[in-house]
Amino acid sequence: MNELRWLLLALMLFLVALPALSAGTETDVPPLWWSGLALVTAAGLIPVALRYTPSGDDGED
Amino acid sequence: MTDSTLPINIGYWLLAFSPIVLLLVLLAVLRWKAPEAGPVGMLLAAVVALVFFRTPFETLAVGVGKGIWDAVFILLVIWPALLLYRVGTAAGAFDALRRGLSRYSRNHVFLVLGFGWVFASFMQGIAGFGAPIAIVAPLLLAVGVRPVYAVAIPLIGHAWANMFGTLAVGWIATLQVVDLDDEISTALITAVLLAPVTLMAGVTIAWMAGKGRGVRVAWPLILIISALHAGLQFVIMYWEPLLSAFLASTVALAALYPLSRWSRYREPARDVRERPAMRDDAGEGDEAESEPTMGLGWALLPYAVLTLVAVVTLAVPPVVDLLDQIEFGPPFPGADTGFDVVNEGERPYSPIAPFTHPGFPLAVAVLTTWLVYRARGFYAARRRQEGSQPIWSSLATDATPASVAILSFLVLAAVMEHSGQTDVLAQGLEQVSPPLVYAFLANVVGLIGAFMTSSNTASNVLFAQLQQGVAAGTGLSGNAVVAAQSAGGAIGNAVAPANIVLGTGTAGIVGQEGAVLRKTLPWTVAAAVVIGLLTLLFV
């Protein structure tokens, strides 16, 4: 996967986390909001990890 | 907020400040890209919240969720704005715009001020939420401005209009969180504090366009536009604060036409030799090139549609009332911390009304433009000249890193708010400052709020009540301190990372946010000093 696709994945993780966080906290279902927090943590770590990963693909379209 | 048991001391203040400092260092000193720096700041804010601010994980989850929703509001502006840029580029509209405008003015100082200051302010008057940056940056690129300056210039140029722009949503929100003993006085003081901000913007942008000679060429224009911006906003404030920035910036925009007929601004500024903001190859519009794919009128079509739809859907009360009936947002429960910081439940939280959202006029403009340009064969003509012009893959390249950055910035802000870090920042300033020093620094609190949230409105919602409380406790004028908060929130938008990313996305320079910040930060600091000094006259 090139850098752009990894960032697209991070973006998706952020957006998918939103309903989990809202529904999980609103209906008091901890596994749901915990999964939301996990998704956001993963989304936040992806761009940082990319910075320290040698890029072999510039991702030009 | 005031019932919390938050420890207000230097250690906690520094802890609360650490995510902001980290963000500034990563962006401006170490030159990280915004999509990399934002998540690091976000994760630090979460760790500080959990470890030091007694924030339960569930409260953190509520804060993170609200931050993502706040970011979605902004993303619904940036995505259609980026698409509008790509649709225009693929049809050759920016090339046509540059060459079409050169028939009216070949003076780069005039064009840079016209787009970066006057048009950006006009866009802020109606749309706001970063749209002026995302829309104006590509226009400045089209007239030959270097990409970093193309982002920095509208950031500085639109700042004065943030408080009463977007039909004064910031003012409406302020009135919801504080009870002012004299609303009109507060509004008028805010207008006075913002007056030097627009003047400073004009001078700074002229300096960027041509150093001292640029300012010498531009000074009549700067004085006229500043007087229209600041003077009309002040006068209209007596009648209707909600329209003050919109009408003032509209009249200023209209004034550009007669000014463009003046030989001083019609002809090239040939004696302006130092042009830091301009590309080396930026000509005066007289170079020999292939014919543009369209005329100036067609190139301006998206902006005409944008303006028309924005005015109808955002400024005509019966239409707004009708369209506002459809809205949605995610529900969130109340959440508190071990320091008794309480965040009320909201069901729905900050609902979005899609048809009165500032992204809606942009989306209509994109669709109309695409259909018309396609029907007139502009895309095919451009392909013959320049080869294939991909729209969707270019959009993904621009939008994805910018979106990740904005999401992380807004989550950072929400986590700081829900954990009480934001309260500690403001209350810490209050405790160490004698009244007059506090009055001088009151706008800095607003500035910090806008830096974190990229919104004057959000900054006032966060801090206006606190600022009024401090004023009451120290014998300062509450009206003046709330006005300073509002003015600080306005200029804070020029350094807000989320706003900068809106520009770097459309200017195609994602990753150079630090370079833009280094251009806008000195101006913002200078504006904060001027606002601080002026505030002393009113407290």
| Those residues with Cβ within 8 angstroms of residue B521's Cβ, 6 or more apart along the chain or in another chain | B28, B495
Counting every residue written for chain B, the total comes to 539
Query: With 60 as the cut, is the pLDDT of residue B286 above it?
Result: no
B340 touches chain A (CB under 8 A): no
Q: How confident is the model at residue A60 (pLDDT cuts 50, 70, 90)?
A: very low
Query: With 90 as the cut, is the pLDDT of residue B33 above it?
Result: no
A-to-B residue pairs, Cβ atoms closer than 8 angstroms: 102
Looking at CA atoms only, how far is residue B425 from chain A in angstroms? 25
Instruction: Report yes or no on whether pTM surpasses 0.90.
Output: no
Inter-chain contact A34–B68, Cβ cutoff 8 Å?
Answer: no
Inter-chain contact B68–A14, Cβ cutoff 8 Å?
Answer: yes
Count Cβ atoms below 10 Å from residue B270 Cβ, excluding itself.
Answer: 9
Query: With 50 as the cut, is the pLDDT of residue B453 above it?
Result: yes
Residues of chain A in contact with residue B349, where contact means CB-CB under 8 angstroms, are: 22
Inter-chain contact B407–A61, Cβ cutoff 8 Å?
Answer: no
Backbone angles phi, psi at B394, to 5 degrees: -65, -40
Residues of chain A in contact with residue B57, where contact means CB-CB under 8 angstroms, are: 34, 37
Looking at CA atoms only, how far is residue B41 from chain A in angstroms? 10
Average pLDDT over residues B302-331: 86
- Give the span between the Cα atoms of B519 and B521, in whole angstroms: 6
**Cα distances (Å, whole numbers) of residue B360 to B126, B351, B355:** 12, 15, 6
Residue-wise burial string across B469-506, b where 16 or more C-beta atoms lie within 10 A, e elsewhere: bbbeebebbbbbbbbbbbbbbbbbbbbbbbbbbbbbbb
Structure tokens at B93: 């509209």
Structure tokens at B158: 């639109």
Average pLDDT over residues B30-49: 91
The residues facing B342 across adjacent strands are B336
Share of chain B above pLDDT 90, in %: 47
Query: With 80 as the cut, is the pLDDT of residue B156 above it?
Result: yes
> What is residue B251's predicted lDDT score, i.e. its pLDDT?
92
Average pLDDT over residues B343-353: 90
Average pLDDT over residues B478-499: 94
B407 touches chain A (CB under 8 A): yes
Cis before B348 (ω within 30): yes
Inter-chain contact B36–A34, Cβ cutoff 8 Å?
Answer: no
* Closest by Cα among B104, B144, B107, B102 to B220: B107
Query: With 50 as the cut, is the pLDDT of residue B393 above it?
Result: yes
Average pLDDT over residues B346-360: 88
| Those residues with Cβ within 8 angstroms of residue B109's Cβ, 6 or more apart along the chain or in another chain | B206, B209, B210, B214, B217, B218, B265, B269, B272
Average pLDDT over residues B449-476: 82
Inter-chain contact A30–B58, Cβ cutoff 8 Å?
Answer: yes
Inter-chain contact B40–A48, Cβ cutoff 8 Å?
Answer: yes
Q: Which residue in the set B58, B349, B401 is minimally distant from A7, CB to CB?
A: B401
Please write the tens of the pLDDT for every residue from B199-211.
999 999 999 999 9
CB B125 within 8 A of CB B246: yes
Average pLDDT over residues B71-95: 84
Residues of chain A in contact with residue B394, where contact means CB-CB under 8 angstroms, are: 61
Query: With 70 as the cut, is the pLDDT of residue A7 above it?
Result: yes
**Better-predicted residue by pLDDT, B307 or B18:** B18
**Better-predicted residue by pLDDT, A56 or B308:** B308
CB B89 within 8 A of CB B389: yes
- Give the span between the Cα atoms of B206 and B219, in whole angstroms: 9
Residues of chain B in contact with residue A16, where contact means CB-CB under 8 angstroms, are: none
CB B365 within 8 A of CB B305: yes
Say which range, B174-178, B247-251, B397-401, B482-486, has the weakest mean pLDDT. B174-178
Residues of chain A in contact with residue B501, where contact means CB-CB under 8 angstroms, are: none
Query: With 90 as the cut, is the pLDDT of residue B3 above it?
Result: no
Query: With 50 as the cut, is the pLDDT of residue A33 above it?
Result: yes
Q: What's the helix, strand, coil split of chain B in %, to 5?
A: 75, 0, 25
Inter-chain contact A21–B68, Cβ cutoff 8 Å?
Answer: yes
**Better-predicted residue by pLDDT, B393 or B108:** B108
Query: With 80 as the cut, is the pLDDT of residue B2 above it?
Result: no
- Give the span between the Cα atoms of B63 and A13, in whole angstroms: 16
Say which range, A13-17, B137-141, B462-466, has the weakest mean pLDDT. B462-466
Structure tokens at B94: 């920016």
CB B121 within 8 A of CB B254: no
Q: Which residue in the set A8, A25, A44 is minimally distant from B65, CB to CB?
A: A25
**Better-predicted residue by pLDDT, B431 or A23:** A23
Looking at CA atoms only, how far is residue A22 from chain B in angstroms? 6
Q: Which residue in the set B40, B61, B393 is minimally distant from A33, CB to CB?
A: B61
- Give the span between the Cα atoms of B539 and B526, in whole angstroms: 20
Which stretch of DSSP H or E encloses residue B70? Answer: helix B57-91
> What is residue A58's predicted lDDT score, i.e. its pLDDT?
45
> What is residue B283's predicted lDDT score, i.e. its pLDDT?
61
Average pLDDT over residues B79-103: 81
> What is residue A55's predicted lDDT score, i.e. its pLDDT?
65
- Give the span between the Cα atoms of B125 and B356, in whole angstroms: 15
- Write down the residue that tokens 């005066």 correspond to: B284
Which residue of chain B is at minimal alpha-carbon distance from A11? Answer: B404
Query: With 50 as the cut, is the pLDDT of residue B528 above it?
Result: yes
Backbone angles phi, psi at A30, to 5 degrees: -55, -40
Inter-chain contact A25–B335, Cβ cutoff 8 Å?
Answer: yes
B332 touches chain A (CB under 8 A): yes
Query: With 60 as the cut, is the pLDDT of residue B287 above it?
Result: no
Structure tokens at B428: 């810490």
DSSP conformation letters of A1-61: --HHHHHHHHHHHHHHHHHHHHHHHHTT-HHHHHHHHHHHHHHHHHHHHHHTS--S-----
Average pLDDT over residues A17-26: 97
Which stretch of DSSP H or E encloses residue B91? Answer: helix B57-91
Average pLDDT over residues B355-359: 84
N-term to C-term CA, chain A: 13
Q: Which residue in the set A11, A22, A37 is minimally distant from B332, CB to CB?
A: A22
**Better-predicted residue by pLDDT, B224 or B272:** B224
Average pLDDT over residues B83-107: 82
* ipTM metric: 0.92
Residues of chain B in contact with residue A10, where contact means CB-CB under 8 angstroms, are: 35, 404
Average pLDDT taken over every residue of chain B? 88
Query: With 70 as the cut, is the pLDDT of residue B305 above it?
Result: yes
Q: How confident is the model at residue B285 (pLDDT cuts 50, 70, 90)?
A: very low
- Write down the residue that tokens 């429960």 correspond to: B333
**Per-domain residue ranges for chain A?**
1-51
Q: Which residue in the set B65, B72, B400 is minimally distant from A7, CB to CB?
A: B400
